[in-house]
Amino acid sequence: MAAEQPLWTPTQDQIDAAPLTAFTKAAGVKAGVAFSSYSQLHAWSVEDREGFWSLVWDFCGIVGDKGDKLLVDGDKMPGASFFPDATLNFAGNLLKKTGSGDAIVFRGEDKVERRLSWNELHALTSRLQQLFLSLKVKKGDRIAAMMPNMPETVAAMLAAASIGAVWSSCSPDFGEQGVLDRFGQIEPVVFIAPDGYWYNGKAIEVADKIAAVAAKLGTLHKILIVDYLGTSSDVAGTIDKAVALEEALSPFADKPVAFEPLPFSHPLYILFSSGTTGIPKCIVHSA
């Protein structure tokens, strides 16, 4: 049998220019050892966890204050605490880049195509942040979104993270009970949903589902309806506490986004298990 051939092998020039190569060199300087293989780098990463993760922070250019302590109770699992004194903001790190280059390219089947530059993403995030603050959303509050993967979803997540609110989302094709099984556990103050979505070339309306879900989420201050099918104002007009997102954003002009410094372990997302063996279980991620 012929020897198996790899599908692709990098050239030496590609290896030399790879970020991992640069990181390996930086790790060697920090450790005082010239690592000649990935296995050596890995061995150092688990032997000197504080040194490794401190280097990751610096090498990746994390925006924030690393703090003096890097690891507490490192041998406890669970119980280990990385960067217990650090403060940072997840959204602030994702929005380091500016300019006219593409930040998001969105295609909704063959019906919708949109591009947002980095500057446009900053602007939308800024206006959403101002909207959330006007709705009295504060650090630790939950914002729930039953949304497609579209630009407004990304910007709303970034706006939530910028002020320390906790983001949670699911797909708009979930059934009413599937949405409630998740969001009913987390007491959201804002619910974001589309006027509908495209599936296999067909427009799928979700107004009745939004109304049914919202009626059972007793902690909601506001429901924001995002335009995808062109009917957001009509949908919002049929649901208590609802407003079309564009209307809600109209009072707010673009200005620099303010990023709240938050502890390393501050909740960022609430995700969920599949729910195949009972009610979906909350899974909390930090920055």
Q: Which residue's structure tokens are 């060199």? A: 25
Asked whether residue 71 falls in the same domain as residue 109, the answer is no
Q: What is the pLDDT of residue 2?
A: 61
Share of the chain above pLDDT 90, in %: 95
Tokens (6 digits) for 22 = 């640069």
Q: What is the pLDDT of residue 251?
A: 98
Q: What is the pLDDT of residue 168?
A: 99
Q: Name beta bridge partners: 64.
A: 88
Asked whether residue 156 falls in the same domain as residue 269, the answer is yes
Which of 87, 105, 130 corresponds to the end of one domain?
87
Nearest to 173 by CA among 144, 143, 149: 149
Which of 49, 68, 87 corresponds to the end of one domain?
87
Cβ count near 263 (within 10 Å)? 16
In the chain, the amino acid numbered 11 is T
Looking at the chain, which runs of residues are DSSP E strands? 64-65, 71-72, 81-82, 87-88, 102-108, 112-117, 142-146, 166-170, 190-194, 196-199, 202-205, 222-226, 242-244, 262-263, 267-272, 282-286
Q: What is the pTM of this model?
A: 0.93
Which of 35, 60, 87 corresponds to the end of one domain?
87
Q: Using one digit for the tens of pLDDT, what is the confidence trace for 10-41?
A: 999 999 999 999 999 999 999 999 999 999 99
Share of the chain above pLDDT 70, in %: 99
> In this structure, is residue 132 part of a structural domain?
yes
Structural domains counted in the chain: 2
Cβ count near 203 (within 10 Å)? 14
C-alpha to C-alpha distance for 253 and 69, rounded to whole angstroms = 40
Which domain does 39 fall in, by range? 16-87
Asked whether residue 216 falls in the same domain as residue 264, the answer is yes
- Give residues with Cβ within 8 angstroms of 164, minimum separation 6: 138, 139, 140, 260, 262, 266
In contact, 89 and 287? CB cutoff 8 Å? yes
Asked whether residue 105 falls in the same domain as residue 247, the answer is yes
Asked whether residue 170 falls in the same domain as residue 216, the answer is yes
Asked whether residue 206 falls in the same domain as residue 223, the answer is yes
Cis-peptide into 78, omega within 30 deg? yes
Q: What is the pLDDT of residue 57?
A: 98
Own/partner pairs, 199-204, CB within 8 angstroms, 24+ separation: 199/109, 199/173, 200/109, 201/109, 201/110, 201/111, 203/229, 204/172, 204/173
Q: Using one digit for the tens of pLDDT, what is the confidence trace for 130-157?
A: 999 999 999 999 999 999 999 999 999 9
Residue 166 burial by Cβ neighbours in a 10 Å radius (0-12, 13-18, 19+): buried
> In this structure, is residue 48 part of a structural domain?
yes
CATH code for the domain in which residue 143 is found: 3.40.50.12780
Secondary structure (3-state) at 182: helix
Q: What is the pLDDT of residue 1?
A: 52
- Model confidence at 287, pLDDT cuts 50, 70, 90, reads confident
